[in-house]
Structure 1
């Protein structure tokens, strides 16, 4: 049986500092939590940056460079840089950091979609920063743009030119067909690492039958040429990751996707979530993959080929 890959998404661009005091914001916090998550069993670290003063999602290369070398010096985990950034960022902003680093791995959203975060704003009356509530409220008119032209540009510049491989984030069944389109164009080679994403308002819902359907469609479209992982937003995080592991898939956890460790109880760190899903995976009789095994499974170029 193939070993199970654990990805940890450390901070993301969805949750805001008011929502949890444990959400990492500064370079020190992101680096420390990323390394701890790797020590707990995450072979892949999915990374966003934040403005250290305000906690606002950032695409500035200097904010990424403040923590990337620190993580690489303390861990051999695969560093997977976002190309999604935040839905309010233009493509050029989102790509600035990964283009400067030429990472082993990047995320790639497989389509344009509504990305509605505004229901979260109703849960809070007071805010730590003045940007947070408008950021959430205004998402009722927000479109995350990733057109076929955008996707082709990312595949060319980061894949062909810089040798990165991708975590293909598929928020709905149509995104699987878009991925197949680019395979048919010859812009992507197997193995494909597909992240099924559930529970974002604007994408497919976190219903178990939807996971089964996504898996069936991926089997139809990609045969044995792909690996799949599962993330679910919020309270469905661990149940859906557990389903994925039971189906022979891989898992993603982290404070980007869910701030809690149990009902009504905030996770104190990313490592706490990694440890929880690792226990589930191992109770199912599976072994977790090391970073070296992850590189072999996904055909990555190696950390020594990443720009310092």
Structure 2
């Protein structure tokens, strides 16, 4: 298994799954998102994957005015690549979900490569009725068992064509092997051009499980479908975060950590911040013999347009 010289660390700062009750470290105010993003970049994250939240309640948001207060601050304080989510809601249309990327024209944004059952409802069982900090949280978490995360071929086409003039590089999020075949089809009809960047995602309820065998299977499938035309990274949800990231780094892949994907720093111990997770995976990657990529090295590896061509 080929090893690479540089490993790109992505930090997913807040996401749209975890809620404020689940961890005091989860950032949701504009100030906290900005500060934790900046700290993660300082710790070694070359890419910052960003969602927005309502500044008062912490509810997930795709409204541009909830991105605007922190994006310029992050750009001014760091050289990190900004990656804006297009999957920030399990219930809104693709038009709503791509509005932040269309508004701010980041260097990267996520692109989910298939519809799926995407649920985190078992988390609701960990809390009593009186434990929730905000009224919206319980129903949001418990009700996720009825959601279909819609990403049809028409949705993918609309997002790709709408964002094409912006020169955005997509982080193609693949939650199961069928999503790789969806991506191959979309490349064949001209929606995406090489080199593509694939995020293998393991451990989400509704997607493929977080076993190393599945990582090897996904990687072999991608090799067959894309040859040398792709770069790849691994996202392990929950307790799979660090083990799968460490394994991926030794297989030639890049890594993603962050409080979007796991609230923990080790078994049973909540992380204090995103930067703490970045620091840990950086230490692991370097101890295993790899070098961590700078933001400019990540831009070169992923063929990005550059931070001077964003709209924030």
TM-score of the superposed pair, with normalisation by structure 1: 0.98
1:33 aligns with 2:36: yes
Q: Can you list the C-alpha shifts for 1:123-176, whole angstroms capped at 9, x where unaligned?
A: 111100111110011111100111001101111111x21110110000000000
Pick aligned residue for 1:188 from 186, 192, 199: 192
Pick aligned residue for 1:109 from 109, 112, 118: 112
Task: Please report how far the alpha carbon of residue 88 of structure 1 lies from its aligned counterpart in structure 2 after TM superposition.
Answer: 2.2
Question: Aligned equivalents of 1:45 and 1:229: distance in 2?
Answer: 14
Report the counterpart of residue 13 of structure 2 in structure 1. Answer: 10
Report the counterpart of residue 223 of structure 1 in structure 2. Answer: 227
Contact 2:82 2:108 in 1 (8 A): yes
Report the counterpart of residue 257 of structure 1 in structure 2. Answer: 261
Question: Aligned equivalents of 2:184 and 2:95: distance in 1?
Answer: 25
Question: Aligned equivalents of 2:58 and 2:37: distance in 1?
Answer: 17
Question: Aligned equivalents of 2:15 and 2:157: distance in 1?
Answer: 23
Report the counterpart of residue 144 of structure 1 in structure 2. Answer: 149
Q: CA RMSD in A?
A: 0.8
Q: Can you list the C-alpha shifts for 1:6-58, whole angstroms capped at 9, x where unaligned?
A: 00000000000000000001111000000000000000000000001110000
1:118 aligns with 2:93: no
Question: Aligned equivalents of 2:179 and 2:104: distance in 1?
Answer: 27
Question: Aligned equivalents of 1:49 and 1:271: distance in 2?
Answer: 18
Question: Aligned equivalents of 2:161 and 2:166: distance in 1?
Answer: 8
Contact 2:95 2:159 in 1 (8 A): no
Q: Give the SS at the match of 2:173.
A: strand
Aligned residues: 307
Task: Please report how far the alpha carbon of residue 178 of structure 1 lies from its aligned counterpart in structure 2 after TM superposition.
Answer: 0.4
Pick aligned residue for 1:300 from 287, 294, 304: 304
1:130 aligns with 2:135: yes
Pick aligned residue for 2:168 from 164, 168, 172: 164
Contact 2:175 2:200 in 1 (8 A): yes
Contact 2:299 2:306 in 1 (8 A): yes
Task: Please report how far the alpha carbon of residue 89 of structure 1 lies from its aligned counterpart in structure 2 after TM superposition.
Answer: 2.1
Q: Can you list the C-alpha shifts for 1:34-85, whole angstroms capped at 9, x where unaligned?
A: 0000000000000000001110000110110110000000001000000001
Question: Aligned equivalents of 2:212 and 2:126: distance in 1?
Answer: 26
Question: Aligned equivalents of 1:157 and 1:165: distance in 2?
Answer: 13
TM-score of the superposed pair, with normalisation by structure 2: 0.97
Gapped regions of structure 1 (runs ≥ 5):
none
Q: Can you list the C-alpha shifts for 1:155-211, whole angstroms capped at 9, x where unaligned?
A: 1111x2111011000000000000000111122111111000000000001111111
Pick aligned residue for 2:61 from 46, 55, 58: 58
Pick aligned residue for 1:73 from 38, 52, 76: 76
Gapped regions of structure 2 (runs ≥ 5):
none
4+ residue runs over 3 A deviation: none
Question: Aligned equivalents of 2:89 and 2:201: distance in 1?
Answer: 16
Question: Aligned equivalents of 1:121 and 1:273: distance in 2?
Answer: 24
Question: Aligned equivalents of 1:155 and 1:92: distance in 2?
Answer: 11
Q: Give the SS at the match of 2:311.
A: coil
Task: Please report how far the alpha carbon of residue 92 of structure 1 lies from its aligned counterpart in structure 2 after TM superposition.
Answer: 2.0
